[in-house]
Amino acid sequence: MTSRPDRVVLATHNPHKVEEFQSIVRATRPDLDVVGYDGPEPIEDGVTFAENALIKARAAAAHTGLPSLADDSGICVDVLGGSPGVFSAYWAGHTKDATANLELLLDQLSDVADPHRTARFVSTIALVIPGGAEHVVEGSWPGRLATAPRGEGGFGYDPIFIPDDQPQGAERTVGEWSAGEKNAASHRARAFAALTPLLADL
């Protein structure tokens, strides 16, 4: 590929993330085309979100020659000391089974009372420009965990995450939010808001 200033590759093979990023980016940079990544998947052996995001963004930039974005994200549960954290996608094993991950987390918290079920989604986005700069930003979305999944929307842990930033009395999980609501408020939207000034030079 040859580099184009209006195109950026998202270093993921997850189509849900591509769709979510396209929607988030479109809100502030409709001229910027987010394309999926079709190259080899690097080994994510970092121990922080930032390390893994940079591993993926560097690999995509090297493979495509395009400015590359990579998101490493997960859910951090306070009573578990911030876990699953960087291991969110593999919490129930290396098959990356989202349903098994969610069920295991609920089982681990089965005896934890509601006031202690606080958690946050974290998204760290790395931007790597081939032969140029590297940037890392982070967004955090606080909330707490439901005792059972609710809603058909979103993916991953969305059906058990109840964000704090809802109207008084609202107890909806992200699985019950529309895609538009999620994309406007999520941890990825917050991280991208911090990234937007850095994209002005693309």
Exposure string over 94-129, b if 16+ CB within 10 A, otherwise e: eeeebeebbeebbeebeeeeeeebbbbbbbbbbbbb
Q: What does the block give as tokens for 74?
A: 């997960």
Residue type at position 6: D
Q: Is 120 annotated as a binding residue?
A: no
From the candidates 38, 72, 97, 164, which is the catalytic residue? 72
135 is in an annotated binding site: no
Nearest to 131 by CA among 76, 66, 80: 66
Task: State yes or no: 121 annotated in a binding site.
Answer: no
Query: Nearest Cα to 24, choosing from 114, 129, 137, 132?
Result: 137
Check the annotation: does 182 bind a ligand. Answer: yes
Q: Is position 159 annotated in a ligand binding site?
A: no
Tell whether 73 is in a known binding site. yes
User: Residue 123 belongs to what H/E stretch?
Assistant: strand 118-128
| 90 marked as part of a ligand binding site | no
According to the annotation, is 94 in a ligand binding site? no
72 tagged catalytic:
yes
The answer to whether 191 touches 137, Cβ cutoff 8 Å, is yes
Q: CA–CA separation, 72 vs 87, rounded Å?
A: 10
User: Is 15 marked within a binding site?
Assistant: yes
Q: Is residue 187 a known part of a binding site? A: yes
Q: Is 13 annotated as a binding residue?
A: yes
In whole angstroms, what is the distance from residue 127 CA to residue 124 CA? 10
DSSP code at position 44: -
Show binding-site residues: 12-17, 72-73, 155-158, 182, 187-188
Q: Which residues are catalytic?
A: 72
Show binding-site residues for Mg(2+): 72
Show binding-site residues for substrate: 12-17, 73, 155-158, 182, 187-188
